[in-house]
C-alpha cells in the first residue's frame, strides 16, 4: 500500500511524501534536485519494507522552500517535522544528490533522526564542473509544447535508461499547464536554475556525524563523485563503507535500483545487527 501524506512546516507550508506500507517507516528516502519521491519507486519495491519517500521543498507535490530557498540546510529544516511526524523511528536516511547533501545537514540539526546514513552518488566535494551535464539538462527549455518533446530531451540526457522507465519518471515529474504546454514540477512558477552552491562546509558536518555511513558511487561518466571525493571521504570518515556500481551513473536509483536496494538493506539492517565494521 502506498499513500500520500502532507505535513505542515512551522510557517504553514506543506511538504508532501509517499508512505509505503502500513507499519511505521523504517527508512527515509530523499531524492535529488529536479526529481521527486517517485524516483525511488523501483528501489522501494526492491526494499520491500515500510518507508517514507519525501518530495523535497519546491519539488513534486511539496510547496516551495522558505523564501524560495532549496539549499541543503533549508531543506533539512523543512524535512525535520515530516520525519518526526511520519517516520520518527526510521533506522536510516538515504539521500541521493541534493537529497544526500540535505541528509548530511539533517544529521547535524537533528542527529536523532539519522540513525544510519546512506549517500547515493554525492559528497560535499560536488562542484559545478562535475555536475555540468545535470545543470545543462535542468537549465533547458522552461516549457515544452508536448510531453513527447519533454520525454525526448530526457532520453537524450539519460542514455543508460530504458524509454519505458524514463516515460514513467517524466510523467510523475511533469505537469501540463492550462495552455497545453508542459513544465517540470520543480520549475513550475520559477525560471532558470540556481546552479550549484558551495556545499564544502558539509564536509565538517559529515566528519562530526556519529551516524554509520555508506557511500554508493556510480562509476559511469555521469557520476558526480570522483576519486578525490572518495579519498576525502575515507580521510574524514575512515569507518565509512564505500560501494561502487560499475554500470550506474549519477542516478543509481534509476540505473541499478535493485542493486541499490540490496546494499541499503545490508547496511541499514544487517550491519546494524552486527555492529560497526573495522575499515
Catalytic residue among 34, 73, 74, 97: 97
Catalytic residue among 229, 250, 251, 255: 250
Check if 121 is active-site: yes
User: What would the 3-class secondary structure string for the chain be?
Assistant: CEEEEEEECCCCCEEEEEEECCCCCCEEEECCCCCCHHHHHHHHHHHCCCEEEECCCCCCCCCCCHHHCCCHHHHHHHHHHHHHHHCCCCCEEEEECHHHHHHHHHHHHCHHHCCCEEEECCCCCCCCCCCHHHHHHHCCCCCECCHHHHHHHHHHCCCCCCHHHHHHHHHHHEEECCCCCEEEHHHCCCCCCCCCCCCCCHHHHHHHCCCCEEEEEECCCCCCCCHHHHHHHHHHCCCCEEEEECCCCCCHHHHCHHHHHHHHHHHHHHHHHHCCCCC
Task: Give per-residue burial for 242-278: e unless 16+ CB within 10 Å, then b.
Answer: bbebeebbbbbbbbbbebbbebbbebbbebeeeeeee
Catalytic residue among 41, 63, 121, 229: 121
Check if 97 is active-site: yes
Check if 239 is active-site: no
> Which residues are the active-site residues?
97, 121, 250
Amino acid at each position: 500500500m502506498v499513500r500520500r501524506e502532507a505535513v505542515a512546516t512551522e510557517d504553514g507550508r506543506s511538504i508532501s511524501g509517499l508512505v509505503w506500507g502500513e507499519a511505521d517507516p523504517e527508512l527515509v528516502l530523499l531524492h535529488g534536485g529536479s526529481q521527486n519521491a517517485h524516483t525511488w519507486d523501483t528501489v522501494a519495491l526492491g526494499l520491500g519494507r515500510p518507508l517514507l519517500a519525501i518530495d523535497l521543498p519546491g519539488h513534486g507535490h511539496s510547496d516551495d522552500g522558505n523564501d524560495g530557498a532549496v539549499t541543503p540546510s533549508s531543506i533539512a529544516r523543512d524535512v525535520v517535522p515530516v520525519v518526526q511526524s511520519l517516520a520518527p523511528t526510521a533506522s536510516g536516511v538515504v539521500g541521493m544528490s541534493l537529497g544526500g547533501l540535505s541528509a548530511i545537514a539533517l544529521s547535524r540539526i537533528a542527529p536523532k533522526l539519522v540513525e544510519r546514513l546512506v549517500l547515493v552518488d554525492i559528497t560535499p566535494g560536488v562542484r559545478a564542473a562535475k555536475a555540468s551535464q545535470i545543470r545543462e539538462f535542468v537549465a533547458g527549455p522552461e516549457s515544452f509544447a508536448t510531453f513527447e518533446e519533454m520525454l525526448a530531451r530526457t532520453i537524450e540526457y539519460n542514455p543508460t535508461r530504458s524509454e519505458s522507465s524514463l516515460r514513467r519518471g517524466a510523467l510523475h515529474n511533469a505537469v501540463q499547464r492550462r495552455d497545453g504546454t508542459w513544465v517540470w514540477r520543480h520549475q513550475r512558477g520559477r525560471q532558470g536554475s540556481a546552479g550549484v552552491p558551495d556545499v564544502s562546509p558539509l564536509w565538517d558536518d559529515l566528519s562530526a556525524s556519529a551516524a554509520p555511513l555508506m557511500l554508493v558511487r556510480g562509476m559511469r561518466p555521469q557520476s558526480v563523485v570522483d576519486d578525490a571525493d572518495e579519498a576525502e571521504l575515507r580521510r574524514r570518515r575512515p569507518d565509512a563503507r564505500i560501494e561502487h556500481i560499475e554500470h550506474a551513473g549519477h542516478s543509481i536509483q534509476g540505473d541499478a535500483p535493485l542493486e541499490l536496494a540490496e546494499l541499503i538493506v545490508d547496511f541499514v539492517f544487517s550491519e546494524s545487527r552486527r555492529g560497526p565494521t573495522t575499515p
